[in-house]
Structure 1
């Protein structure tokens, strides 16, 4: 290997040589990756095909699924490649791209969850004003901000990191993250550290606080309403709350993971799966199970588009009417034929 290739390649030291353990990890990663892609695309198709799901909550959910695909595709293919190949490496530019897209996944997901919490707050605390507040133009603006702010901030972070001189080329992790790439540098970067703190405050702490405040407001309102209204509010918020707790747990483990480079191989695999695969895998499942409208739409699509003549779902069929059979003299002769 020539010096040019050596000095432009970052190597992952946590992977072992190809063998039964690596092949088993490859199979498991591929299986989880495939299921994650399938569930997110399925959720996106359900929301896209059913016009009555074109509401703010489901539009934000659609973007959460898109974001999950970004996270999986940015990391998993390279992890699977490294598991079965002798050379466990990636170009320095490729490493920076991996940092960028995996960071977009993490930050945009948190911002989307904050926007969804705001939508739930308006829906429950200001139901009569909901349609005047969550207008189509405002929803479009929120979706644009969900991507524009994190992507702009992350692009500047990657620019700062790319300007640092590189002295080391080994990362003891399954994939690249910004802190690991910064540690490859010969020098300490005060600007990079300060900007990283600002990003965490803006894209993690602030969305977290907004979600917590939204649910405090929702809780205070629920305490004043009837038990039936309270149960309805809980059923509306439960999928989002479970998703938020799940992703917050993944983010917490990721922070611990990023600041401890000398962890065991097993911990590396566990944290990587928890951060990259677990949230995008369970989010569509949570919403599919807990949201009645999505369950109904999935059943309807299976019945009408996939197996139109094979499956029978009586609760989706309209009640058949009986047309009376008339005799020649105009009188009814019986119950008639179903139509």
Structure 2
């Protein structure tokens, strides 16, 4: 990757207000990151170590947790270092890598949530065909697409950004984002804007419409069935619905912050810009861990076995 601009690093100006209470923010951020790592790692371990959970629904959930760890690794360590530093600087290469990870994480999250909606749709609306449709090879293909397609799209975005000559090196953020870097360009950025909006539309709207469609079908089927059937469907669908709405709202905040001019206080802008990296990674495993009974049972078994072994 060749940097054709004279800019070799960026100064992150979003830390100005955070520096007033940097130790408090450092403690909150560190605890948040530890919680994310623990919650997602525990869920991944439970699913991987228990063959009973080697079903599509839990495999997709495991993928969602892996994606959370992937997305936050480019954000939290750097943020923790910057909170305790006098100067918040990031190299051009590190900034591009951070953009790549953040954007591919966000796109993969949408893809995985869409795949999970499809899985729930087949399970509830076509239960007799579930095993025939959701084969091991098909599940692998869905996961491959959910991860590789976002990587391909983000690669296009990064390629367009790295061709630009930059005339500035100050980002009004606490982490790098593509639009902030593009705005520093001395060149015409029309192509970047058009491609960026197209990729945004492709990433957000097809999954949104598909998920709405699947849940309309699920609701239609549930209405026609017994209360017990509706209860079972409700328990498996609620975590997914909450996860999708939560992530969509957080991404919407990021779009509003990066693309639109707002008059909200600077600290609120900062929170809006990073919510998709803060809330979903810790909330998703907690939601699924509490709502999906099979995971809760397995976690209880692990805790009981550990206590028995310690008592011996």
TM-score (norm 2): 0.94
How far does residue 307 in structure 1 lie from its aligned partner after superposition? 2.4
How far does residue 41 in structure 1 lie from its aligned partner after superposition? 0.6
Q: Which has the higher contact order (CA 8 A, sep 6+)?
A: 2
Residue of structure 1 in register with 2:116 after alignment: 116
Q: Could you say if the C-alpha distance between residues 84 and 261 of structure 1 is closer, same or farther in structure 2, counting changes exceeding 3 Å? A: farther
Are 1:61 and 2:61 matched, yes or no? yes
Q: For residue 173 of structure 2, give the secondary structure of its aligned residue in structure 1.
A: coil
Q: For residue 119 of structure 1, give the secondary structure of its aligned residue in structure 2.
A: helix
Instruction: Check whether the contact 1:15–1:265 (CA below 8 A) recurs between aligned residues.
Output: no
Greater percentage in helix? 2
Deviations along 1:230-270, one digit per CA (max 9) or x if unpaired, are 11111111111111111111111111111247763311342
Instruction: Check whether the contact 2:14–2:270 (CA below 8 A) recurs between aligned residues.
Output: no
- The more displaced of 77-86 and 290-299 is 77-86
How far does residue 149 in structure 1 lie from its aligned partner after superposition? 0.5
Distance in 2 separating the partners of 1:151 and 1:195: 15
Residue of structure 1 in register with 2:3 after alignment: none
Residue of structure 2 in register with 1:303 after alignment: 304
Distance in 2 separating the partners of 1:15 and 1:27: 15
How far does residue 204 in structure 1 lie from its aligned partner after superposition? 1.4
Q: For residue 10 of structure 2, give the secondary structure of its aligned residue in structure 1.
A: strand
- The more displaced of 189-198 and 259-268 is 259-268
Distance in 2 separating the partners of 1:31 and 1:260: 31
Residue of structure 2 in register with 1:277 after alignment: 278
Distance in 1 separating the partners of 2:257 and 2:150: 22
Q: Could you say if the C-alpha distance between residues 272 and 194 of structure 1 is closer, same or farther in structure 2, counting changes exceeding 3 Å? A: closer
Instruction: Check whether the contact 2:258–2:273 (CA below 8 A) recurs between aligned residues.
Output: no
- The more displaced of 111-120 and 78-87 is 78-87
How far does residue 83 in structure 1 lie from its aligned partner after superposition? 1.1
Q: Could you say if the C-alpha distance between residues 261 and 164 of structure 1 is closer, same or farther in structure 2, counting changes exceeding 3 Å? A: farther
Q: For residue 308 of structure 1, give the secondary structure of its aligned residue in structure 2.
A: helix
Deviations along 1:79-99, one digit per CA (max 9) or x if unpaired, are 111111111110111111111
Q: For residue 90 of structure 1, give the secondary structure of its aligned residue in structure 2.
A: strand
Instruction: Check whether the contact 1:14–1:172 (CA below 8 A) recurs between aligned residues.
Output: yes
Instruction: Check whether the contact 1:174–1:268 (CA below 8 A) recurs between aligned residues.
Output: no
Distance in 2 separating the partners of 1:136 and 1:80: 40
Residue of structure 2 in register with 1:221 after alignment: 221
Are 1:97 and 2:97 matched, yes or no? yes
Gap regions ≥5 residues in structure 2: 1-5
Distance in 2 separating the partners of 1:253 and 1:18: 20
Instruction: Check whether the contact 2:254–2:274 (CA below 8 A) recurs between aligned residues.
Output: no
Query: Quick check: which has more Rg, 1 or 2?
Result: 1
Gap regions ≥5 residues in structure 1: 1-5, 312-339
How far does residue 13 in structure 1 lie from its aligned partner after superposition? 1.1
